[in-house]
Amino acid sequence: MSARRRSQAFAAFILVCVAVAATAIGLAARDSVPTSGAPVVPAAARDVLVRAQADERSVLLFRSLDRRQPKTYGQVAVTSLDDPSKPRRLVPLRCDRVHFQAGRGVCIARGSSFAAGFKVKLFGERFRVQREFAVKGVPSRARVSPDGRYGSVTLFVGGHSYAVAGMFSTQTTLIDLERNMRIGDLESFSVSHRGRRVTARDRNFWGVTFAPDSDTFYATMATGDKTYLVRGSVSKRRAQTIHENIECPSLSPDGTRIGYKKRVGTGTKLWRLHVLDLATMRETQLAEERVIDDQVEWLDGGRLLYRVDEEVWAVAANGSGRPRRFAASGDSPGVVRARTPPNG
Amino acid sequence: MYNVSASSEVIRGHRRLLARRDQEPRVHRTVVLLGLTSLFTDISSEMVVAVLPLYLVFVGGFSPLAFGVIDGLYQGATALVRLASGYIGDRWHRHKDVAAAGYGLSALCKLALATAGTAVSAIGAIVLIDRIGKGIRTAPRDAMISLSTPPEQLGTAFGVHRALDTTGALLGPIAAFGLLALVPFGFGTIFIVSFCFAMIGVGILVLLVPRGRATAVKDPTPAPAPSVRGAFGLLRQRRFTAFVVAGGALSLATASDAFIFLALEERLDLGTTLFPLLFVGSAGTYMLLAVPIGRLADRVGRGRVLLGGYGLLLGVYLALLAPLEGIALAAAVLGLLGAYYAATDGVLMALGSAVVPDELRGSGLALLGTATSIARLLASIAFGALWTLTDIETAIACFVAALLVALALAAATLVRSREPLHVR
């Protein structure tokens, strides 16, 4: 090829590259899914939780991830616990993580643009947002205490491209849902390990779960290359380590066991789901063999729910049986339990 | 698209810079074209690097911890490949083809990312292949730069290449986040656009860069094809070994810039939004100084400039330990860090190029590059361990001591190696 022909070929080649890039951007900009703003739904949809409570029905509240209906992707939905394959009711809220208990909910949602980051929205049983505040990082976990008094959100901050492999940090904030106020960052709590106060600067917390009394909470604390289960008190702003190698704890409804991710390997075999008996500290490995990166949710006293790809799966809490698909196209599962009178 | 115009601005800037003084020799066209290839390739790969963690966490629902596992594959994957590709380029006189294969492989990886979904194993494999592509292209590309440049201009030539390369590294994240603003969460679009940038880089190399050593260097006497033994025989050559030893020792005392940024962040309390600006500060300095310092190296001696560069790194460490604050601290650390890169990265390759015979250029530069990158990897591990076991000040203080020892060793080695031969 002569120099001239080469230049012409190059010019043509550049044109093709630019055209492909421009087409890709144009198409994507046209089809981009709405990522924020309250979706429009029939007014009656707002009452779905209120009606369930009136009928003393427990329901599943989760993120709907139906790719066939991209406009609803990420929208919160409610469905029957007995038959989750029944049509879901979409509600007017879009979240990346969501959890709801006893009349109060926490939602981590995207802001209006990528640059706007994420917001935590506190909402009531009719999905009206009562308070929202901006947060830094990428949504990881959201939890509400069984009595709806406290909430907690975990976000990943750091873990960006310029950091060293494996180095990342999380920020876990406790929220007073009665007063719609932030209580503070777990890193400001005093934590002790074997009687000594933990002062390491690299400590990180994630994945809070609340006990039925709601003042007691459990969470993961990481320092160095170890993770610990901590138990603490919200009012005393204090916690202590009680077990090692536990991530994303989730307390059973009766408060006796903790479902969690245990680090068992490396690479693609990083975690296995386990259950810890708090009375005996005995660990039970569950039948789910895939790597699960989620904070599990107790379906009832004997089964756990969690996300696998874009589906909700369930497995027995005693290590028996086999995992099975619980609900299609969804994640962030939460069981909104029927409020029954105490001792009845 | 604004990147294309912006980068041609940069080129014009460089051309002007190079053409300004008539007595100053212009770098060969091949060097500028290879610089442009690197520029577009870096835009492409830095776009992906900037958003890959976000992609995995947002779309894949993975924690950055899982990403760390993937990122670990990056390291070390390239060392052996680099040696092999340097040798193959020498053996069959096919530096350009080997380099094109490396650039092409990395480009295809961007396309694969767009279709792979978020399975960690698939992304891990793609990232690994991408790094292999980088390993393949580095040595033959540096060999081509050095073979198309007269020995007395090697510092300038590598400076021009590195300046263009760094320009791409700066533009990549800007392009990625610009696209994210335009198409929220449009990661697939980013990968496709990244692929297009990579293909432009490949196109420049394949269609515009002249093949082989069609240059004004020496008389092109065909040399016999080198053997593997011949390639490793370089290590018996005293001057070359001196560079490997000096470069390796200095690299062993080099804290990776990731650590330096983290240390700086601790002192500045920046928050994560401003964190990337640290990279912009040091890379911007590197970009601006690469050509002038490369030229300086050609004039006053590359060994001196290399040692001076590590003196600047010593300055970075000391600035981090000094009672500086705020802007003054950031400016001192980032300025010194950028100048350190400008005075060492390309200059070491220029040093090596001047003593490796033409027919072994790829292998020689690959040996030099591999030795320093392995040493740097070991240094990162050591620094991380020191930081974990003690604190950041102690870790830096240890590296100050190590760097002083390495500087003394390197200076002694470089001076002694000069005695038998006098090459400039």
Give the span between the Cα atoms of B59 and B61, in whole angstroms. Answer: 6
pLDDT band at A139 (very low <50, low <70, confident <90, very high): confident
Does the CB of B122 have a partner CB in chain A at under 8 Å?
A: no
% pLDDT > 70, chain A? 90
Res A343: pLDDT:
47
Average pLDDT of the residues in A51-80: 90
From chain A, pick out residues whose CB is under 8 angstroms from the CB of B68: 159, 165-168
Q: Is the pLDDT of residue B74 over 70?
A: no
pLDDT band at B270 (very low <50, low <70, confident <90, very high): low
Mean pLDDT over the full length of chain A: 87
Cross-chain Cβ contact B69/A138 below 8 Å: no
Cross-chain Cβ contact A25/B189 below 8 Å: yes
Q: B185 - beta bridge partners?
A: none
Res B2: pLDDT:
34
Q: Is the pLDDT of residue B25 over 80?
A: no
More confident position, B211 or A95: A95
Average pLDDT of the residues in A304-331: 94
Res B57: pLDDT:
61
pLDDT tens digits, one per residue of B193-233 = 999 999 999 999 999 998 765 444 444 455 566 777 777 77
Cross-chain Cβ contact B184/A331 below 8 Å: no
Cross-chain Cβ contact B185/A17 below 8 Å: no
pLDDT band at A33 (very low <50, low <70, confident <90, very high): low
Give the span between the Cα atoms of A290 and A269, in whole angstroms. Answer: 8
Which of A16, A164, A332 to mutate: most B Cβ within 10 Å? A164
Q: Is the pLDDT of residue B238 over 60?
A: yes
Quick one: DSSP state of residue B26? P
Map residue A136 onto helix, strand or coil.
Answer: coil
Of A25, A115, A224, the CB nearest to B388: A224
Q: Is the pLDDT of residue B63 over 70?
A: no
Q: Is the pLDDT of residue B424 over 50?
A: no
pLDDT band at B188 (very low <50, low <70, confident <90, very high): confident
Res B24: pLDDT:
53
Of A7, A17, A270, the CB nearest to B66: A270
| φ, ψ dihedrals at B357, nearest 5° | -60, 150
Of B196, B279, B380, the CB nearest to A17: B196
- Nearest Cα neighbor of B59 from A27, A115, A73, A273 is A73
From chain A, pick out residues whose CB is under 8 angstroms from the CB of B180: 114-115
From chain A, pick out residues whose CB is under 8 angstroms from the CB of B380: 164
Give the span between the Cα atoms of A326 and A313, in whole angstroms. Answer: 5
- Nearest-CA residue of chain B relative to A154? B63
From chain A, pick out residues whose CB is under 8 angstroms from the CB of B72: 165-166
Cross-chain Cβ contact B196/A163 below 8 Å: no
Res A71: pLDDT:
80
* pTM beyond 0.90: no
Q: How far is A25 from chain B (nearest CA, A)?
A: 6
Q: How far is B194 from chain A (nearest CA, A)?
A: 8
Q: How far is A268 from chain B (nearest CA, A)?
A: 7
- Nearest-CA residue of chain A relative to B66? A267
Of A32, A136, A157, the CB nearest to B183: A32
Q: Is the pLDDT of residue B322 over 60?
A: yes
pLDDT band at A141 (very low <50, low <70, confident <90, very high): very high
Give the span between the Cα atoms of B210 and B232, in whole angstroms. Answer: 28
Average pLDDT of the residues in B77-86: 83
- Nearest-CA residue of chain B relative to A112? B184
- Nearest Cα neighbor of A211 from A196, A232, A190, A195 is A232
Q: How far is A14 from chain B (nearest CA, A)?
A: 6
pLDDT band at B10 (very low <50, low <70, confident <90, very high): very low
Domains belonging to chain B, first-starting first, are 24-210 (1.20.1250.20), 230-417 (1.20.1250.20)
Map residue B345 onto helix, strand or coil.
Answer: helix
pLDDT band at B8 (very low <50, low <70, confident <90, very high): very low
Show the tokens assigned to B74: 């990056």
- Nearest-CA residue of chain A relative to B210? A3
Mean pLDDT over the full length of chain B: 82
Q: Which of residues 287-326 of B touch A (CB under 8 A)?
A: none
Give the span between the Cα atoms of B239 and B246, in whole angstroms. Answer: 11
First-last CA distance in chain B: 44
pLDDT tens digits, one per residue of B42-54 = 999 989 887 877 6
- Nearest-CA residue of chain B relative to A165? B68
pLDDT tens digits, one per residue of A258-317 = 999 998 876 566 789 999 999 999 999 999 998 888 999 999 999 999 998 889 999 999
pLDDT band at B58 (very low <50, low <70, confident <90, very high): low
| φ, ψ dihedrals at A128, nearest 5° | -90, 130
| φ, ψ dihedrals at A105, nearest 5° | -135, 155
Res B420: pLDDT:
39
Res B409: pLDDT:
93
- Among B94-98, B134-138, B325-329, B419-423, name the one with the lowest average pLDDT: B419-423
Of A7, A24, A110, the CB nearest to B192: A24
- Nearest-CA residue of chain A relative to B173? A161
- Among A137-141, A242-246, B140-144, name the one with the lowest average pLDDT: A137-141
Average pLDDT of the residues in A232-251: 95
Cross-chain Cβ contact A13/B207 below 8 Å: yes
- What is the helix (H) or strand (E) element at residue B57, kind and residue range? helix B29-58
Q: How far is A163 from chain B (nearest CA, A)?
A: 5
CA distances from A336 to A295, A297, A333, B162, B226 (A): 16, 11, 10, 58, 73
Average pLDDT of the residues in B134-148: 93
Q: Is the pLDDT of residue B3 over 60?
A: no
Quick one: DSSP state of residue A140? E
- Among B56-65, B279-288, B375-384, name the one with the lowest average pLDDT: B56-65
Does the CB of B261 have a partner CB in chain A at under 8 Å?
A: yes
Average pLDDT of the residues in B82-100: 91
